[in-house]
Amino acid sequence: MSRQHSLRDYSGCCSGILLGAVLCVFTTQVAWSHYPYIDCEKAVDEVICQVGFSDGTDAVGAEVVMFSYDEEPLARATADDFSRATFTWQDQPFYIQFDAGHEDPAEYDYAEL
């Protein structure tokens, strides 16, 4: 005896697959989040850092902090209209951090300059 299946018999299955596909698309967006970046260069007695996000978005107005290796803040700067933060060169080891509130802040060590 064969049974004919109607679309109604598969509607629960298909709606579940559709819902799963939609959820997959939206939940993987988190994995596609744009992470912060920082790139610095030494210019005479200053350090100039470009900050932003991996999608090319600028971080105008963002706070950027220079820390000693003891994690003490040495200086703070606000990214300008070109998304640059400028610091005075320090005569001690330091790193510069752009924390955009994501899981991992972007950091640049003075040894890379």
Structural domain contains residue 22: no
> Which residues touch 99 (CB under 8 Å, ≥6 apart)?
36, 63, 65, 105, 106
Whether 23 maps to a domain, the answer reads no
In a domain, 38, yes or no: yes
pLDDT value of position 61: 98
pLDDT of residue 30: 43
Query: Whole-number mean pLDDT of the chain?
Result: 84
Give the total number of structural domains in the chain.
1
SS3 14: helix
- pTM for the predicted model, two decimal places: 0.71
Please check whether residue 28 lies inside any domain of the structure. Answer: no
Domain of residue 61: give its range: 34-112
